[in-house]
């Protein structure tokens, strides 16, 4: 029973990881390796030609830079805006608080994919095409984040903050020295989520970028044009180059990542 | 007095960015989308004349839209159960102790580390019928991009690979919160693995399950990137989904009126699906 | 931690500014941007073209060309259209390489600079351009764009398979295709097809020819395929050309030797899964390199629908469109277009890709003749075009993408659901008429 479970689990996990492993292996394939019979899982030799071509025929570094920059700034702004709003809704009482909260959170039901045509027209009218701000503009607000953060913040009593303010503590200090350390796990989880959402976005950056130098990696990868002639080597090389650092980071940090998810998102 | 006033305005100022953003990128575009869907709209995006529901009427008699609607629903129907079964099995199977289990878990969430378009490009090349590894390994020549059923299956597979990392983490976190002593008691009392899952683990992970089902349905109904990168709606529109057709009408044909009408349909569909689901969930909780 | 993030963000933000700064240094140059859909072998060739220009003529005249690959031809159009419609000059490229599906959307754009305007003071060059290619892009006596990647559709066939099946020449009509395909088909012991006679699902590119060349010349839509105005309805249903074609196509399908493939046809052909495909001459170099020495590739004229279908083929491929970006780049644009369509460069482009040269002088170059001698397949496209009715022109329609799929799905539906050709023709016509009317709704005030 126990062995059966371990075997099944291992088989399934190998299946899940297969595309990643194959991509790494295939990045060293010579053209003939793709058509060899029986099919090859491993390259015939350590052939670096694909990497040379991937780098000389595209702007990989620039694409990656654009993606990292937009994802980092986007995450930072998105978290700042969400935390500020969630903090206000949790600790302040003011006229229209509930109505405004519902106004913001209700947009969870307006998927941005369905609003893409109108949003595109807005971005064009604001002359934000081909800018970093244009790429991140529509992802700056995450109603789910505001909702979850408020749920979390409300576990702390309002008197806490009032007492701190009477003691002369500013809101900024209260937020940074007390509330943030306390909610590190949830903030980190939401930040990782934001980062991967912005980093992985495809249709929107495709629409709002025209210049090669502004493309994000997600768009750039599909526009490399090698695959036309089934010339897959360089494409696999580019993908391997991009995913390796993140793969290494994920493997190294697997414990904190798994734990940060287990703290929030589940049950209560 | 002055500081008093600034205190009174402070909360509003702190939520101002969020309010501006919801106005600019959610409510205004939603109103515009709705207005565009009941007007005729020029190629330049100006509303020309109010036409009532005639855009919707034309849309509902358009064969291309019929295809999109049925493909989107079919995809949701195939994808959500497949994804839940695969990710939940992964979480259940790897919920053990030991280095091997640990390695399995790393493998299960690793797809999360691969960017979306990287993953899709990898799959596109692996499933190429001519030189892709999949057909060569299984030894059958499946025309993944030429056979409508195979193309739909490919989209489902792609959806699972894109989603498994995060969904797996959620499931396995929920499972780890199931107290071990409860399971041991059940085992001593002669419960088998399935009974433990059905009567002990399932009720406890139910909130997570609902969360994943809801997000999966929403994502499935809004699927666009895998369609754009893998199949471009083909063959014969068999993978053309609603959001993809919205992109075709809005951006490829410049038909903002029809594109907006599709957007409203998409919005109504996801909204209804989520409402039904939340309603069911609420009823279930009352019964318990 | 927070301070670190802020500092890191600022540092990251400054790097692109450095990039921008570096580019400003070389200011005396006029820079023009060229959006193109060339990838693979064509991509390499167009990069070389740009590089050669920048190194020679460009350096002399202080002009720099920057190529931007924007995906497939219809992706270039998707990017371009919203910019043109907003009457905005920002973001606009100086040059964009587009195919026939773009014409209707672009030809009335205010920012368009026609080739006549560019060649006003320097008309000599236009007399060196192949007339048929100029005609294919002329609207109301204005040359809208510069022919550059000109092609025609061709039949590619596996000569070894033909020899094995005892067929000595490529099919001339669709009836010949039927006979040949049936002979070429191979099955395994369970009766499953292992080698198909022909793979194709006819759509816009094929039907422009197969409907257009019937009875010498037939238009698919009113306004002469959109060349004299915006089409309002299709004609192929009422004039019976579609039914005539579909009847013959269904006969091929009934032999069991037709594969309904829509993607990766080059791969299926090159890997020996199918004996015949229809593809543009621009695929010639790509297919040749994919096939290698696995078998001998043959290239022939596009088969005729029937003996009366004498119209030949239209000029396909694309042209380079010029736009006014408000920077007064007209002279630079014209210099580059002249260079790109010069005799020498068209020869290199032709050899690298298979597109036929648009410059008449290219055909006189000794290198051209030597190359043709060694690779006779490269001559089929231009010869086929010379035998065609010059009035047979490509289809200029709105919503080209949707119309493309309407043809494809309509034909598949007929084959799989056993519709009659009449029913299929009617259904396709209705759907496409819908798209044509959509366009007029968007125009009407």
Q: Report ipTM for this prediction.
A: 0.86
What is the rounded CA–CA span in Å between residue B107 and residue B79?
21
End-to-end, the C-alpha distance of chain C in Å comes to: 58
DSSP-derived secondary structure for C190-214: TS-EEEEEEE----HHHHHHHHHTG
Residue A73 with chain C: CB contacts under 8 Å:
9, 12-13
Give the residue from C20, C31, C19, C27 showing the smallest Cα distance to C327.
C31
C134 within domain boundaries: yes
Please name the chains neighbouring A, where neighbouring means 3+ C-beta pairs under 8 angstroms: B, C
Query: What is residue C150's three-state secondary structure?
Result: strand
Closest CA to B176 of B95, B90, B93: B95
Same domain membership, residue C239 and residue C198: yes
Kindly state the DSSP code that residue C303 receives in the 8-state scheme: P
Residues in chain A, overall count: 268
Q: Cβ A111–B266 below 8 Å, yes or no? A: yes
Question: Residue C34, Cα to own-chain centre: how many angstroms?
Answer: 17
The predicted pLDDT at position B192 comes to: 82
Sign of torsion over alpha carbons C381, C385, C388, C394:
positive
Q: Which one, of A158, A153, A214, A236, lies nearest residue A187 by Cα?
A: A153
Taking the C-alpha atoms of residue C410 and residue B125, their distance in angstroms, rounded to an integer, is: 29
Mean pLDDT (whole number) for B141-155 = 93
Provide the token pair at A247: 């793969």
Residue-by-residue DSSP string for B187-221: HHTT--HHHHIIIIIHHHHHHHHHHHHHHHHHHHH
Q: Is residue C1 part of a domain?
A: no
3-state secondary structure of C272: coil
Residues B265-281, mean pLDDT to the nearest whole number: 84
Range of the domain at C70: 22-150+316-364
- Does the beta-carbon distance from B129 to C444 stay under 8 Å? no
User: What residues of B are in contact with residue C273 (Cβ under 8 Å)?
Assistant: 130, 141
Query: What is the maximum alpha-carbon separation in chain C?
Result: 80
Nearest partner of C422 among C233, C205, C236, judged by Cα: C236
Give the mean model confidence (pLDDT) for residues B108-120. 89
Mean pLDDT across C433-437: 94
pLDDT at residue C91, rounded to an integer: 82
Residue in B107, B165, B197 to test binding to A, most A beta-carbons within 10 Å:
B107
Compute the nearest-CA separation of A106 from chain C (Å): 31
Q: Rounded distance, CA B204 to CA B186, Å?
A: 15
Instruction: Say whether both C219 and C239 belong to one domain.
Output: yes
B218 to chain C nearest CA, in Å? 26
* Per-residue CA distances from A78 to A81, A136, A193, A260 (Å): 5, 9, 11, 19
Helix (H), strand (E) at residue C323: strand C316-323
Q: Cα(A77)–Cα(A100) distance, rounded to whole angstroms?
A: 20
Asked whether C285 and C190 are in contact (CB, 8 A), the reply is: no
Q: Which of C364, C399, C429 is the last residue of a domain?
A: C364
Can you give the pLDDT at residue C396?
95
Question: Within this chain, do residues C84 and C195 fall inside the same structural domain, yes or no?
Answer: no
Q: Reduced to 3 states, what is the DSSP secondary structure of residue C149?
A: strand
Alpha-carbon distance of B227 to C71, in angstroms, equals 16
Chain A partners within 8 Å of C70 (Cβ): 210, 223
Label residue B286 by pLDDT band (50, 70, 90): very low
Tell me: the pLDDT tens digits for A53-90?
888 777 888 898 999 999 999 999 999 999 999 999 99
Is the confidence at residue B200, as pLDDT, over 80? yes
Contact present, C180 and C197 (Cβ < 8 Å) = yes
Distance (Å) from the alpha carbon of A113 to chain B's nearest alpha carbon: 7
pLDDT at C423 over 50: yes
Given a cut of 80, whether residue B196 has pLDDT beyond it is yes
Statement to judge: residues C231 and C343 lie in one domain: no
Q: How confident is the model at residue C23 (pLDDT cuts 50, 70, 90)?
A: very low
Task: Tell me what the mean pLDDT of segment C329-334 comes to.
Answer: 94
Which pLDDT value is given to residue B46?
Answer: 85
- Average confidence (pLDDT) over B154-167: 93
Residues C136 and C243 in one domain: no
Find chain A residues with C-beta within 8 A of C292's C-beta: none
Distance of CA C241 to the CA centre of its chain: 23
A32-36, B53-57, B266-270: range with lowest mean pLDDT = A32-36
Q: Assess A120–C contact: CB distance below 8 Å, yes or no.
A: yes
Chains that touch C (3 or more CB pairs under 8 A): A, B
Question: Taking CA atoms, what residue in A is nearest to B96?
Answer: A6
User: In chain B, which residue's Cα lies nearest the Cα of A171?
Assistant: B10
pLDDT at C25 over 50: no
Handedness of CA C383, C387, C389, C391 (dihedral sign): positive
Mutation pick from C110, C272, C409, C429 vs chain B, by most beta carbons of B within 10 Å, is: C409
Q: Which of A19, A27, A96 to mutate to test the interface with B (most CBs of B within 10 A)?
A: A19
Q: How far is B93 from chain A (nearest CA, A)?
A: 5
Whether the per-residue pLDDT at B181 is higher than 50: the answer is: yes
Strand blocks (E) in C226-309: 258-259, 274-280, 297-300
pLDDT band at C220 (very low <50, low <70, confident <90, very high): very high
User: Who among B41, B44, B253 is closest to C399 (CB)?
Assistant: B253
Could you count the other beta carbons within 10 Å of the beta carbon of residue A38? 8
Question: What angle do the packed helices A184-200 and A143-153 form, to 10 degrees?
Answer: 170
CB contact at 8 A, B4 and B11: no
Assign A240 a pLDDT band (cuts: 50, 70, 90).
Answer: very high
Residue C86 shares a structural domain with residue C35: yes
Do C58 and C205 share a structural domain? Answer: no
What pLDDT is stored for residue A252 in this prediction?
A: 86
Tokens of B252: 């490829």
Is the pLDDT at B161 greater than 90? The verdict is: yes
Highest mean pLDDT (candidates A53-57, A176-180, B95-99, C226-230): C226-230
Better pLDDT: A30 or B84: B84
Q: Are residues C299 and C161 in the same domain?
A: yes
C162 shares a domain with C137: no
Least confident window among A125-134, B35-44, B159-168, B204-213: B204-213
Q: Which residues of B touch A197 (CB under 8 A)?
A: none
DSSP lists the bridge partners of residue C36 as: C69
Residues C227 and C142: their CA atoms lie apart, in Å, by 12
Q: Which residues have CB under 8 Å from A126's CB, separation 6+?
A: A134
Q: What is the pLDDT of residues C334-388, one digit of tens each?
A: 999 999 999 999 999 999 999 999 999 999 999 999 999 999 999 999 999 999 9
User: pLDDT value at position A263?
Assistant: 53
| The token pair that represents C7 in the structure block | 């500092």
Distance CA B105, CA C288 (A): 47
Rounded Cα distance between B263 and A201, Å, is: 19
| Nearest beta carbon to residue A69 from set C12, C88, C267 | C12
Q: Domain limits of chain A?
A: 1-58+224-252, 62-219
Other Cβ atoms less than 10 A from the Cβ of C365: the count is 16
Q: How far apart are CA A261 and CA A88, in angstroms?
A: 25
Domain count, chain C: 2
Cβ partners under 8 Å of residue A213, min gap 6: A59, A62, C19
Cβ-defined contact of A84 to B128 (cutoff 8 Å): no
B115 vs A221: CB contact, 8 Å cut-off?
yes
Contact A97, A91 (CB under 8 A): no
- Categorise residue C199: left if φ over 0, alpha if ψ from -120 to 50, beta otherwise: beta
Shortest CA gap C9–chain A (Å): 7
> How far are the Cα atoms of A60, A257, B167, C256 from residue A213, in angstroms, in the given order?
10, 33, 34, 50
3-state secondary structure of C389: coil
pLDDT of residue C228: 93
What's the pLDDT score for residue C17?
Answer: 45
Whole-angstrom Cα distance, residue A155 to residue B91? 30
C-alpha span between C355 and C319 (Å, rounded): 12
Reported as a pLDDT band with limits 50, 70 and 90, residue B138 is confident
Torsion of CA A52, A58, A59, A61, to 10 degrees: -30
On the question of pLDDT at C18 being above 50, the answer is no
What are the structural domains of chain B? 2-37 (no CATH), 62-287 (1.10.3720.10)
Q: What is the pLDDT of residue A228?
A: 62
Nearest residue on chain C to B58, judged by CA atoms? C434
Distance from CA of B155 to the nearest CA of C (A): 16
The mean of the pLDDT values for chain B is 88
Superfamily name with CATH number, domain A62-219: MetI-like (1.10.3720.10)
The pLDDT of residue C8 is: 56
Rounded to 5 degrees, what are φ and ψ at B97?
A: -105, 165
Instruction: Answer whether C286 sits within 8 Å of A228, measured CB to CB.
Output: yes
Residues C113 and C234 grouped into a single domain: no
- Rounded to an integer, the average pLDDT of C66-87 is 87
Q: Is A76 on the interface with C (CB under 8 A)?
A: yes
Q: Based on the fold, state whether residues C285 and C205 are members of the same structural domain.
A: yes
CB C225 within 8 A of CB C395: yes
Q: Is the pLDDT at B71 greater than 70, yes or no?
A: yes
Interface residues of C toward B, Cβ cutoff 8 Å, are 74, 77-78, 81-82, 85-87, 105, 201, 259-264, 267-268, 270-271, 273, 398-399, 401-402, 405-406, 408-409, 412, 431, 434-435, 438, 441-445
**Mean pLDDT for the stretch of residues C113-129:** 93
Counts for chain B of helices (H) and strands (E), in that order: 14, 2
Q: Are residues C308 and C323 in the same domain?
A: no
Closest CA to C183 of C245, C260, C255, C129: C255
Is residue C262 reached through a cis peptide bond, with omega within 30 degrees of 0 on the bond before it?
no
Which residues of chain B neighbour A143 with C-beta distances below 8 Å?
A: 22
| Contact in structure between B208 and B174 (CB atoms under 8 Å) | yes
Determine the pLDDT at residue A227. 62
Which pair of tokens denotes residue B61?
A: 């008699």
Interface contact A118-B136, CB threshold 8 A:
no
Chain B residues lying within 8 Å of C262, measured CB to CB: 145-146, 234-236
Mean pLDDT of A175-195: 84
CATH at C233: 3.40.190.10
Picking from A70-84, B172-186, B229-243, C404-418, which range would have the lowest pLDDT averaged per residue? Answer: B172-186
Q: Are strands C153-158 and C274-280 parallel, antiparallel or unpaired?
A: antiparallel
User: What are the tokens at A132?
Assistant: 């970093």
State how beta strands C193-199 and C274-280 pair.
parallel
Q: Which residues of A75-95 are buried (b: 16+ CB within 10 A; e: fewer)?
A: bbbbbebbbbbbbbbbbbeee
Does A254 or C77 have the greater pLDDT score?
A: C77
3 state SS of C276: strand
- Find the mean pLDDT for residues B8-23: 91
Could you tell me which residues of chain B have a Cβ less than 8 Å from any Cβ in chain C?
40-45, 48, 58, 62-64, 67, 128-131, 141, 143, 145-146, 233-237, 240, 248-249, 251-255, 257-258
Strand C30-36 to strand C63-69: parallel, antiparallel, or no bridges (unpaired)?
A: parallel
Note the pLDDT of residue B144. Answer: 92
Confidence bin at B5 (pLDDT 50/70/90): low
For residue A120, the chain C residues in CB contact (below 8 A) are 82
C8 contacts on A by Cβ (under 8 Å): 72
Residue C280: phi and psi, rounded to 5, are: -70, 155
B97 or B156: which leads in pLDDT: B156
Residue C126 burial (10 A CB sphere; 0-12, 13-18, 19+): middle
The pTM score is: 0.89
Choosing among B143, B233, B238, which should be mutated to test the C contact, i.e. which has the most C CBs within 10 A? B143
Which residue is associated with the tokens 């083929």?
C313
Contact flag A230-B247 (C-beta cutoff 8 Å)? no
Query: What would the 3-class secondary structure string for B29-74 be?
Result: HHHHHHHHHCEEECCCCCEEEECCCHHHHHHHCCHHHHHHHHHHHH
Measured distance between the N- and C-terminal CA atoms of chain B, rounded to whole angstroms: 55
- Residue A193: left (phi > 0), alpha (psi -120 to 50), or beta? alpha
Distances (CA, A) of B264 to A113, A205, B124: 11, 22, 31
Closest residue on chain C to B51 (Cα) = C441
The stretch A243-258 carries a mean pLDDT of 83
Q: A60-91 and A158-166 are packed helices; what angle lies between their axes, rounded to 10 degrees?
A: 90
Q: Which of C349, C364, C379 is the last residue of a domain?
A: C364
Contact C401 B43 (CB under 8 A): no
Q: Which residues in chain C have their CB less than 8 angstroms from residue A231's CB?
A: 40
């Amino acid at each position: 029973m126990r062995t059966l479970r371990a075997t099944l689990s291992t088989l399934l996990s190998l299946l899940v990881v297969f595309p990643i492993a194959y991509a790494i292996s295939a990045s060293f394939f010579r053209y003939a390796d793709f058509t060899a019979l029986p099919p090859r899982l491993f390259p015939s030799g350590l052939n670096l030609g694909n990497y040379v071509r991937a780098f000389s025929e595209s702007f990989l570094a620039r694409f990656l830079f654009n993606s990292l920059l937009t994802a980092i700034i986007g995450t930072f702004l998105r978290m700042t805006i969400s935390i500020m709003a969630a903090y206000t809704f949790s600790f302040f009482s003011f006229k229209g608080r509930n109505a405004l909260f519902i106004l913001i959170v209700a947009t969870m039901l307006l998927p941005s994919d369905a609003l893409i045509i109108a949003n595109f027209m807005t971005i064009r009218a604001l002359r934000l095409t081909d800018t970093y701000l244009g790429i991140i503009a529509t992802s700056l607000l995450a109603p789910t984040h505001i909702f979850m953060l408020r749920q979390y913040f409300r576990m702390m009593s309002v008197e806490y903050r009032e007492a701190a303010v009477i003691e002369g503590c500013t809101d900024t200090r209260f937020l940074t020295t007390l509330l943030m350390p306390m909610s590190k796990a949830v903030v980190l989880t939401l930040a990782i989520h934001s980062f991967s959402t912005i980093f992985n976005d495809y249709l929107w950056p495709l629409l709002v970028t025209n210049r090669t130098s502004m493309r994000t990696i997600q768009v750039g990868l599909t526009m490399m044009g090698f695959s036309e002639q089934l010339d897959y080597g360089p494409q696999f090389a580019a993908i391997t180059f991009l995913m390796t650092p993140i793969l290494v980071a994920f493997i190294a940090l697997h414990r904190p990542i798994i734990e940060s998810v287990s703290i929030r998102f589940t049950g209560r | 007095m002055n500081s008093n006033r600034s205190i009174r305005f402070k909360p509003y100022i702190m939520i101002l960015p969020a309010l501006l953003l919801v106005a600019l990128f959610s409510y205004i575009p939603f109103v515009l989308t709705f207005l565009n869907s009941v007007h005729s709209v020029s190629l330049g995006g100006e509303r020309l004349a109010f036409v009532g529901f005639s855009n919707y009427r034309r849309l509902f008699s358009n064969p291309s839209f019929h295809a999109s609607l049925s493909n989107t629903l079919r995809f949701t129907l195939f994808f959500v159960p497949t994804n839940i079964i695969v990710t939940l099995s992964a979480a259940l199977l790897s919920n053990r102790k030991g280095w091997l289990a640990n390695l399995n878990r790393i493998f299960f969430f690793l797809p999360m580390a691969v960017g979306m378009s990287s993953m899709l490009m990898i799959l596109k090349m692996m499933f190429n019928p001519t030189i892709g590894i999949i057909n060569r390994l299984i030894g059958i020549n499946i025309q993944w991009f030429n056979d409508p059923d195979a193309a739909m299956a490919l989209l489902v597979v792609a959806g699972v690979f894109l989603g498994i990392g995060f969904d797996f983490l959620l499931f396995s976190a929920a499972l780890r919160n199931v107290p071990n002593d409860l399971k041991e008691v059940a085992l001593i009392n002669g419960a088998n693995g399935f009974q433990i899952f059905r009567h002990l683990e399932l009720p406890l992970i139910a909130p997570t399950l609902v969360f994943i089902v809801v997000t999966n349905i929403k994502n499935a109904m809004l699927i666009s990137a895998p369609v754009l990168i893998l199949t471009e709606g083909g063959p014969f529109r068999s993978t053309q989904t609603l959001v993809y057709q919205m992109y075709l009408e809005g951006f490829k044909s410049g038909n903002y009126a029809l594109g907006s009408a599709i957007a409203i349909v998409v919005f109504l569909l996801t909204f209804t699906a989520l409402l039904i689901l939340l309603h069911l969930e609420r009823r279930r909780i009352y019964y318990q | 931690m927070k301070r670190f993030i802020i500092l890191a963000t600022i540092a990251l933000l400054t790097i692109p500014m450095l990039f921008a700064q570096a580019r400003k240094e070389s200011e005396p140059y006029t820079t023009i941007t060229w959006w193109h859909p060339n990838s693979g072998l064509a991509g390499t060739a167009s990069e070389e073209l740009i590089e050669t220009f920048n190194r020679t003529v460009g350096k002399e005249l202080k002009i720099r060309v920057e190529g931007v690959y924007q995906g497939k031809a219809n992706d270039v159009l998707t990017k371009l259209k919203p910019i043109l419609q907003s009457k905005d000059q920002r973001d606009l490229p100086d040059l964009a390489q587009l195919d026939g599906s773009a014409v209707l959307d672009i030809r009335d754009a205010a920012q368009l600079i026609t080739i006549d305007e560019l060649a006003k003071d320097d008309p000599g060059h236009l007399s060196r351009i192949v007339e048929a290619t100029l005609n294919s892009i002329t609207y109301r006596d204005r040359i809208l764009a510069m022919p550059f990647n000109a092609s025609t559709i061709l039949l590619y066939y596996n000569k070894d398979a033909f020899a094995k099946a005892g067929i000595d020449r490529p099919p001339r009509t669709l009836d010949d295709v039927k006979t040949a395909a049936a002979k070429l088909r191979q099955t395994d012991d369970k009766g499953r097809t292992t080698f198909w006679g022909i793979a194709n699902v006819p759509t816009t590119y094929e039907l422009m020819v197969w409907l257009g060349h019937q009875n010498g010349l037939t238009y698919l839509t009113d306004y002469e395929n959109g060349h004299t105005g915006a089409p309002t309805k299709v004609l192929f249903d009422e004039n019976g050309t579609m039914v005539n074609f579909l009847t013959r196509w269904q006969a091929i399908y009934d032999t069991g030797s037709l594969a309904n493939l829509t993607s990766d046809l080059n791969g299926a052909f090159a890997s020996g899964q199918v004996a015949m495909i229809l593809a543009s001459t621009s695929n010639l170099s790509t297919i040749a390199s994919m096939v290698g020495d696995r078998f001998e590739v043959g290239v022939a004229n596009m088969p005729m629908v029937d003996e009366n279908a004498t119209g030949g083929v239209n000029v396909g491929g694309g042209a380079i469109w010029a736009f006014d970006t408000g920077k007064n780049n007209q002279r630079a644009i014209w210099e580059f277009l002249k260079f790109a369509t010069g005799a020498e460069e068209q020869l290199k482009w032709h050899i690298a890709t298979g597109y036929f040269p648009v410059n008449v002088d290219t055909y006189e170059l000794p290198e051209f003749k030597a190359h043709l001698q060694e690779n006779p397949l490269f001559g089929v496209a231009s010869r086929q075009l010379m035998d065609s009715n010059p009035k047979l022109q490509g289809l200029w329609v709105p919503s080209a993408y949707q119309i493309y799929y309407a043809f494809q799905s309509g034909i598949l539906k007929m084959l799989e659901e056993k519709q009659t050709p009449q029913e299929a023709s009617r259904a396709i016509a209705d759907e496409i008429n819908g798209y044509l009317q959509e366009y007029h709704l968007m125009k009407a005030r």
